Amino acid sequence: MKTISTVFRCLFASLLCLIFSITLAQKTVNKGLPPQDCGTPTPSREAVEAAEKAIFQLKQGLVNKGLPSLVTLPIKAHIIRQSNGTGGLSEATLNAAIATMNTIYQPTNLQFYLCSGVHYVDNDNLYNCDVDVDNSLLVLNNVNDAVNIYFAGTLTAGNTGLNGIASFPSGNAAANRILLYNGVVGNGQTLAHEMGHYWNLYHTHETAVGTELVTRSAGANCGTAGDLVCDTPADPCCYFYNPFNCTYNGTVVDVSGATYTPLVTNLMSYYGDCRTQFTTGQQNRIGDGYTYRLSLMQTSGSYVFNCPTTAIAAPSNVVASNATCIVNVTWTDNSANEKGFIIERSSNATTGFVAVGAVAANVVSFADISPLTGTTAYYRVVAANSSATPSTVTSITVPNGLCYCVPGFTDCSAGDAIINFALSAGSGTLINRASGCGTSGYSDNTQTTSATLIPGQTYTVTLTNQNQYPEGFTVWIDLNQDKTFAPNEIVFRSATHVQQTIQSGSFTLSGTALPGQTRLRVRQSDDRAEVPSSSCNSYPYGETEDYTIVIPGLQTAVSSITSGNWNSPATWTGNQVPSAGVDVTINPMHTVTINGITAVARKVKINGKISYLNNGKLQVGQ
């Protein structure tokens, strides 16, 4: 029977793997986690009450304000691969996930490091892990001196695909483990979510000890129901929200008739990719959970957190340099046994270092594409498996106003790239650039592609996308050349997201544009985010491209080169529509039509003819 059931399971697992692959290609796995994304079991009322009582006694009634000082905790990473040693999570992805988790957990004073190398488990059965069948086999790999985290090719409970599973605090060494599906390790959420359970956080929609009421006034039960945390709003879970702009749009009411207003950005909710944060109450509860788990560990004596950091020669010669708003950090790798490096940054030379990124072993450079500006930033580098030996600290100050911001990471690898951007005036093409997905969703073309634009002239921007998703786009020109794209420097913005290959719009360049060299930025985002309003932030999917724009100094005298409308650039030398302070000559044989506008100029010499239509007027001496 075992053979048959294993065959069935493997068949199913293969099919599931195929399904996962397809959905990954369609980027729906990371775009919206299903409500059953977490397999951590609902705690029993008895367990919750016992835990609360124990924590109360441990705290002796004191209000916990989180852990008072930094605690670094060892993680034992078990990367499950296929039996032939292929298919496992990369150590670079693992390092990046730990760096992101460290950033999220920094306010709790808990930080994590990889303990004594990665443990590889090469086993086809476990690679496609059905927790109902495989957990007991898997946890035979547990170590008893660290937090065990398993990374599996697929993760299921019977027929249900899962993203992660954790265990609440317990003295049972077999339950000292977190399981993660590889496909979500890089999403910045699921590892932090499961680690939250590990330190006794419940889902914001938990009902094991009662349904939380919306009110925080008379009759509030937030301390005894729901997730037992009062600064997380009551959460009805999980369907009524707009994943595009991360707003709740449900109308569900609680038993008192009060409308729910859950926090869809809460990491312990089920609101898909919107999840980014713990509340202060949850951060403090993590501190309680740490204290509680330690007491259970000590009582049981079954496991501890003393896996030593690996002795690693610290990186040296750390140097930070600024290149157009990217801080490049380089260092010398002095060891052969590091499991990648984590790059940390602080605005203080000695404290407050937070991970800003991670790289694989033997890599000796990192680009911080969202550096601090206008203040001194301090960088150091630490091996991912040796928190005890950071490098020395280096510093750099990136001034404000000297460089354009580099947009935060935006994914254009799955069908959201700008594959052509064009800028034209009338029938003349000024920019027409084809490209693929830029690194981290950004392409700086300012050194290679430029166009000259004339104030007062109308231009058309045309953007070609991959026609896979509804996209919207926004174009900025830094009119005052202050190195920022202000809201009033948006020259075009789509009304909404539409799914079509080519979109275009037009704008008339403002007469306030300063002459000289400046920058045009075009950003596209898909319908999971807004039509871009920010020139710098991260969007889940889309791309950003920059181009150079040259605005010539205005002429103080123009003349007609053909008959035409006064306000048509094509009528005038230099494509410059006359404006106040400009001397105008209308050449012989030319008829210039002032149609429904009041034309202004300093003076006008008429050798040809002016035609007035629709109350058109001319004011000179301006």
Site residues (CB under 5 A) for Zn ion? 38, 40
CB nearer to Zn ion: pick between 9 and 203: 203
- CA dist., res. 77 & res. 295, Å (int): 24
Smallest distance from the beta carbon of 158 to Zn ion, in angstroms? Answer: 18
Any residues with CB less than 8 A from the CB of 85 and at least 6 apart, and which?
A: 120, 122
Smallest distance from the beta carbon of 438 to Zn ion, in angstroms? Answer: 35
Q: How far is CA 176 from CA 36, 127, 165, 171, 308, in A?
A: 22, 19, 11, 8, 18
Contact 297, 303 (CB under 8 A): yes
**Closest-CA residue to 385 (of 77, 177, 70):** 77
Any residues with CB less than 8 A from the CB of 200 and at least 6 apart, and which?
A: 51, 55, 168, 169, 285, 286, 288, 289, 292, 293
**Closest-CA residue to 461 (of 470, 447, 451, 469):** 451
Contact 87, 110 (CB under 8 A): no
CB nearer to Zn ion: pick between 158 and 511: 158
CB nearer to Zn ion: pick between 177 and 380: 177
CB nearer to Zn ion: pick between 40 and 576: 40
CB nearer to Zn ion: pick between 289 and 569: 289
**251, 253, 258, 259: CA torsion to nearest 10:** -20
CB nearer to Zn ion: pick between 277 and 484: 277
* The pair of three-digit structure tokens given for residue 537, joined into one six-digit string: 């932030």
Smallest distance from the beta carbon of 247 to Zn ion, in angstroms? Answer: 22
Pinpoint the alpha helices (H) of 91-189.
91-105, 124-127, 131-138
Strand 154-157 to 128-130 pairing = parallel
- CA dist., res. 318 & res. 329, Å (int): 7
Residues belonging to the chain: 622
What single string gives the DSSP state of each residue in 294-337? HHHHHHH-S--S-PPPP--PPPEEEEEEEETTEEEEEEE---SS
CB nearer to Zn ion: pick between 40 and 187: 40
Strand 418-425 to 458-465 pairing = antiparallel
Smallest distance from the beta carbon of 390 to Zn ion, in angstroms? Answer: 32
Contact 524, 532 (CB under 8 A): yes
CB nearer to Zn ion: pick between 41 and 470: 41
Smallest distance from the beta carbon of 470 to Zn ion, in angstroms? Answer: 30
CB nearer to Zn ion: pick between 189 and 346: 189
Q: How far is CA 574 from CA 508, 541, 578, in A?
A: 16, 40, 10
Smallest distance from the beta carbon of 196 to Zn ion, in angstroms? Answer: 8
Smallest distance from the beta carbon of 268 to Zn ion, in angstroms? Answer: 7
Smallest distance from the beta carbon of 5 to Zn ion, in angstroms? Answer: 28
Smallest distance from the beta carbon of 43 to Zn ion, in angstroms? Answer: 11
Smallest distance from the beta carbon of 266 to Zn ion, in angstroms? Answer: 11
Cis peptide upstream of residue 238 (ω within 30 degrees of 0): yes
- CA dist., res. 282 & res. 108, Å (int): 9
**Closest-CA residue to 369 (of 409, 411, 318, 416):** 409
Smallest distance from the beta carbon of 132 to Zn ion, in angstroms? Answer: 17
CB nearer to Zn ion: pick between 184 and 509: 184
CA angle 357, 337, 112 (to 5 degrees): 45
Q: Which residue in the shown chain puts its C-beta closest to Zn ion? A: 38
CB nearer to Zn ion: pick between 39 and 415: 39
Smallest distance from the beta carbon of 166 to Zn ion, in angstroms? Answer: 7
For the chain, helix, strand, coil in percent to 5 are: 20, 30, 50
CB nearer to Zn ion: pick between 38 and 463: 38
